[in-house]
């Protein structure tokens, strides 16, 4: 971490490098913005047409040079782009920076469970659309899904799945997406939006069964990807021993 905090202009530039930003509205609620470019203290992008208006105050966080920077913006312009999106121009007003330490992700348990997913608020999927996915990992923080749906960071989902016969239901926030092994598929890293007692109890029950069956825990996504591929190969063969004893 550098000793000197980044300037406001440097912080705004970082939003362009990231490409996606999640903002909190002053009136409440969240707004996802696809950042197109920045210029000085101005940020240009597209967002939900019905969720933004000129004069609105928005705040967002971004990491710059090991500083966690919280920025306040004001929407200067919001004009029609498509029937569902608006082009916005926002100006950064203030920034507050604090030292940032990367959070260590909780170990993931490789699992296999069909999931029913409902889109609560998504950028590329119509709200309330219900689609199938496969839950391929579970941790205290969230799940990893395999799906062909075009999900994007900041999307909100409702998950219903069953792992080792144990039902798990929770609201999810899409954190990251990665290309899947098959063309058109993707691996979607999701965080529990509000991990209440029911979610925690379900996790503990799944973890207990997973441990009883000699399951492994993987922290690295590439290890998880390899385990998922190996499990599919075993499932397709007559001999279903091996990983399928660990992957439900």
Per-residue confidence band for 238, with pLDDT thresholds at 50, 70 and 90: very low
Whether the CB-CB separation of 247 and 112 falls below 8 Å is answered with yes
How many residues does the structure list for the chain?
Answer: 248
Q: Could you tell me the pLDDT band of residue 69, with boundaries at 50, 70 and 90?
A: very high
Local confidence band at 246 (pLDDT 50, 70, 90 cut-offs): very low
Which DSSP category does 189 fall into?
E
Look at residue 15 in the predicted model and tell me its pLDDT: 92
User: Boundaries of CATH 2.40.10.220 in the chain?
Assistant: 109-245
Check residue 112 and give its pLDDT.
Answer: 86
State the Cα–Cα distance between residues 200 and 71, nearest whole angstrom. 32
92: nearest Cα among 72, 78, 76 = 72
Q: With contact defined as beta carbons under 8 Å apart, do 163 and 139 qualify?
A: no
Report the pLDDT value the prediction gives residue 53, as an integer from 0 to 100: 92
Average pLDDT over residues 28-56: 91
Nearest to 203 by CA among 140, 147, 148: 140
What are 184's two structure tokens? Answer: 């058109």
pTM over 0.75: no
Q: Distance between CA 130 and CA 101 in Å, rounded?
A: 37
Name the CATH code of domain 8-99 (choices 1.10.150, 2.30.110, 1.10.10, 2.60.120). 2.30.110
For residue 108, what is the DSSP state? B
Residue 94 has pLDDT above 50, yes or no: yes
Domain 109-245 fold:
Thrombin, subunit H (2.40.10)
Please, where in the chain does CATH 2.30.110 lie?
Answer: 8-99
Percent of the chain with pLDDT over 90: 41
In the structure encoding, which two tokens stand for residue 175, read together?
A: 């954190």
The average confidence (pLDDT) of the chain is 83
- pLDDT of amino acid 160: 94
Q: What mean pLDDT is predicted for residues 197-206?
A: 90
pLDDT tens-place string over residues 148-187:
998 887 788 999 999 988 999 999 988 888 887 777 788 8
Taking only the tens place, the pLDDT of each residue in 99-129 is 877 666 678 888 888 999 999 888 788 889 9
For residue 57, pLDDT over 50 is answered with: yes
Helix (H) or strand (E) holding 58: strand 57-64
- Which stretches within 114-220 are classed as H helix? 197-212
Q: pLDDT (tens digit, 9 = 90+) per residue, 1-25?
A: 567 889 999 999 999 988 888 898 8
Per-residue pLDDT at 236: 47
pLDDT value of position 223: 55
Give the pair of three-digit tokens for residue 87.
């082009």
Label residue 29 by pLDDT band (50, 70, 90): confident
Residue pLDDT, tens place only, 209-235: 888 877 655 445 555 555 555 545 544
């Amino acid at each position: 971490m550098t000793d000197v905090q980044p300037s406001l202009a440097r912080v705004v530039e970082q939003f362009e490098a990231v490409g996606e930003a999640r903002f909190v509205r002053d009136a409440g609620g969240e707004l996802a913005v696809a950042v197109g470019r920045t210029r000085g203290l101005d940020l240009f992008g597209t967002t939900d047409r019905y969720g933004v208006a000129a004069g609105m105050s928005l705040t967002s966080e971004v990491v710059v040079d090991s500083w966690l920077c919280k920025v306040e913006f004001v929407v200067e312009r919001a004009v029609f782009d498509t029937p569902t999106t608006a082009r916005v121009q926002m100006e950064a007003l203030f920034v507050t920076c604090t030292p940032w330490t990367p959070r260590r992700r909780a170990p993931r348990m490789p699992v296999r469970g069909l999931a029913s997913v409902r889109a609560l608020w998504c950028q590329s999927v119509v709200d309330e659309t219900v689609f199938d996915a496969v839950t391929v990992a579970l941790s205290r923080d969230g799940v990893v899904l395999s799906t062909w749906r075009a999900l994007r960071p900041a999307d909100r989902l409702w998950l219903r799945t069953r792992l080792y016969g144990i039902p798990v239901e929770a609201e999810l926030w899409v954190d990251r997406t990665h290309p899947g092994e098959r063309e058109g598929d993707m691996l979607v890293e999701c965080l529990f939006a509000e991990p209440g007692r029911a979610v925690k109890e379900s996790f503990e029950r799944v973890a207990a069964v997973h441990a009883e069956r000699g399951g492994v825990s993987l922290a690295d996504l590439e290890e998880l990807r390899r385990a998922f591929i190996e499990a599919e190969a075993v499932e397709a063969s007559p001999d279903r021993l091996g990983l399928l004893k660990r992957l439900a």
